[in-house]
Structure 1
Amino acid sequence: MMELNDLIIFQKVAECGSISKAAAELNYVQSNVTARIKLLEKELHTPLFSRHKRGMIINSEGKRLLEYAKDITAKVEEMKLSFQDKADAGGLLKIGIVETVNALPHILSSFNDHYPNIEVSLMAGVTDQLVQDVLDMKLDGAFVTGPIRHPNVEQLAVISERLVLVAKRDSFTMDQLTTTPFLLYHKGCGYRGRLESWMKVEGIIPRKVMEFGTFGTIIGSVAAGIGITVIPQSTVTELVEKQVVDEHPLPEPYCDITTIFIWRKDAYITRSLNHFIEEIRMHADALADV
């Protein structure tokens, strides 16, 4: 009979693309992982992976099972939460963030004052990956670039901003777009998506794109004159005032962005997450009134 643990093992093998790597991460004996995968394939009467010398690649039937496995394991975790949730909010919230959410420190500071027993763990990433992590219930929620069009996502607008191109002071004009390297977050970043949409419409092909994982590295490289980037205007206000960098406006509608907080629509909302959402809502209302 298929067991929940079989689905957990299957997901890890699909993620790692290797029996040995999955066994190491799960702290299982490799032969046990192999046996469980073979039993799954026997019970479902179909191979789930294509085997090769360097590992395993999930096939179309495996991908179909993977969707079921994610839903089932997520529901089990949700069930556990619903029984463990207590009247006094506490525990751990896993929250995803894009790195340039300027309102976040104020929200976290206020939330910590109101709910000192709730620990918030922040995990940085790009919008597309954070949305998927929320859907897979690896995160309780995430601050991302919106709007997000997905039937299983609830969203709350946090702050609206404008995107600008940023370059080293006096080193760039808009005529140099095709000859200056772009310093951008990895694919899946909402800011990068807006920039690429605009460039596609205008027929602009950048000479070179360099990918970075952190805001600090990007803006430091821009200030050093390595290239240009696209970023919310509020994140570089101080550097512009200090005349370290210049900002150049993007045309509408590509310049308008909204940071939103998302959570999975059909997930059980713990008291801790509910308090966090209400804290965001309070700050979003205050920002809207400014």
Structure 2
Amino acid sequence: MEFKDLEIFQLVAEKGTVTEVAKELNYVQSNITSRIQKLEVELNTPLFNRHRRGMTLTPEGKNLLSYSKKILLLTEEMKRAVLNKNEPIGKLEIGTVETVYHLPNILTSYMKSYQSVDLSLITGVTEKLEQKVLDYKLDGAFITASNIHPDLESYEVFDEELVLISNSPHLKLGELEGIPFLCFRKGCGYRARLETWYQDQNISPQKVMEFGTLETIIRSVSMGLGVSFVPKSAVAHLEQSGTIYCHSLPSEYSKVKTVFIRRADSYLTATIEKFIETIQHNRQIV
């Protein structure tokens, strides 16, 4: 069994067709097909269900996919560890919730120090990012701390205060039922906090509106579309200018921690180790 066969198997599982994989790898389709068939012969079991719309994994295929991800991840880590034990190098894939206010400082400091690293960043909600780290799809992620999965190791980044924001300085509790609640999609830690507060106050907003970016949420609040729950640091300048107004909630709802997570069983390469050191250094000077 070759590593390349496993890479091709994973791509076919992800894309669902041999045609797309052949196009991406610049291979002929017959090469892709023969490699999949070779795996099936070696393992003595079908790995895909073939149908007119493409290919889907069999139960045995799903089982192999889980092991394949771990094998290829360890292979990549092995290469990085052998190539350079001390100097960060290679690809680093990080996820983050959109509201990490100090993230530019961390990224700038890291990239200035380690220019050989190819760092890529994706945004998402806490729940999805945590799952991507667990599934070995990300090297690590900045998330809102809650019940951290036991397979993850976490590092504190900073503490944050969440505030309810509106375009009115005199927002009253009784008015919230009729005001749309603007938020990220399900899985966002901030949304979960405000939903808990709403439930405890017996508030049922008539409308919940989901947005993809923090900027859109804040602008919509400033124009009077609704209210939201965001880090105070992200809107302090807008509060000073009178663009939006901040309303404090009790600490059990408003105090949160942002943490950086990675899989506890993954090899601590120099690339990720120096990234964690950069986070901790920035935490000291914030």
- Amino acid corresponding to residue 61 of structure 2 in structure 1: G
Listed one character per residue, the Cα deviations across residues 192-242 of structure 1 (whole Å, up to 9, x for unaligned) are 233334445555443333322222222122222222222112111111121
- Unaligned ranges ≥5, structure 1: none
2:112 and 2:213 map into 1 onto residues whose CA distance is 28
- Amino acid corresponding to residue 159 of structure 1 in structure 2: F
Q: How does 1:47-196 map to 2 (within 5 A)?
A: 47-118=46-117, 120-147=119-146, 149-170=148-169, 172-196=171-195
2:216 and 2:129 map into 1 onto residues whose CA distance is 20
Listed one character per residue, the Cα deviations across residues 15-61 of structure 1 (whole Å, up to 9, x for unaligned) are 22333333333433334334433443444444444444433443433
Kept in 2, the 8 Å contact 1:143–1:261? The answer is yes
Kept in 2, the 8 Å contact 1:191–1:231? The answer is yes
Kept in 2, the 8 Å contact 1:218–1:229? The answer is yes
2:207 and 2:25 map into 1 onto residues whose CA distance is 40
TM-score (norm. length: structure 1): 0.84
- Secondary structure of 1:177's match? helix
Listed one character per residue, the Cα deviations across residues 132-183 of structure 1 (whole Å, up to 9, x for unaligned) are 3333444332211114522332111011112222222358543233333222
Shift of 1:78: 0.9
Aligned to 1:283: 282
Kindly tell me the number of residue pairs found equivalent between the two proteins: 286
- Unaligned ranges ≥5, structure 2: none
1:272 and 1:77 map into 2 onto residues whose CA distance is 13
Aligned to 2:24: 25
1:191 and 1:90 map into 2 onto residues whose CA distance is 34
1:170 and 1:54 map into 2 onto residues whose CA distance is 56
* CA separation of 1:116 and 1:82: change in aligned 2, threshold 3 A: closer
Kept in 2, the 8 Å contact 1:74–1:136? The answer is no
Segment drifting more, 115-124 vs 253-262: 115-124
- Amino acid corresponding to residue 180 of structure 1 in structure 2: I
2:55 and 2:172 map into 1 onto residues whose CA distance is 49
Kept in 1, the 8 Å contact 2:70–2:136? The answer is no
1:52 and 1:175 map into 2 onto residues whose CA distance is 56
Shift of 1:99: 1.8
Kept in 2, the 8 Å contact 1:95–1:123? The answer is yes
- Secondary structure of 1:254's match? helix
* CA separation of 1:194 and 1:58: change in aligned 2, threshold 3 A: farther
- Secondary structure of 2:98's match? coil
Listed one character per residue, the Cα deviations across residues 113-134 of structure 1 (whole Å, up to 9, x for unaligned) are 5445545433222222322333
- Secondary structure of 1:277's match? helix
Segment drifting more, 225-234 vs 168-177: 168-177
- Amino acid corresponding to residue 237 of structure 1 in structure 2: A
Segment drifting more, 70-79 vs 204-213: 204-213
2:268 and 2:2 map into 1 onto residues whose CA distance is 27
Aligned to 2:265: 266
Aligned to 2:206: 207
Segment drifting more, 212-221 vs 232-241: 212-221
CA RMSD after TM alignment: 2.8
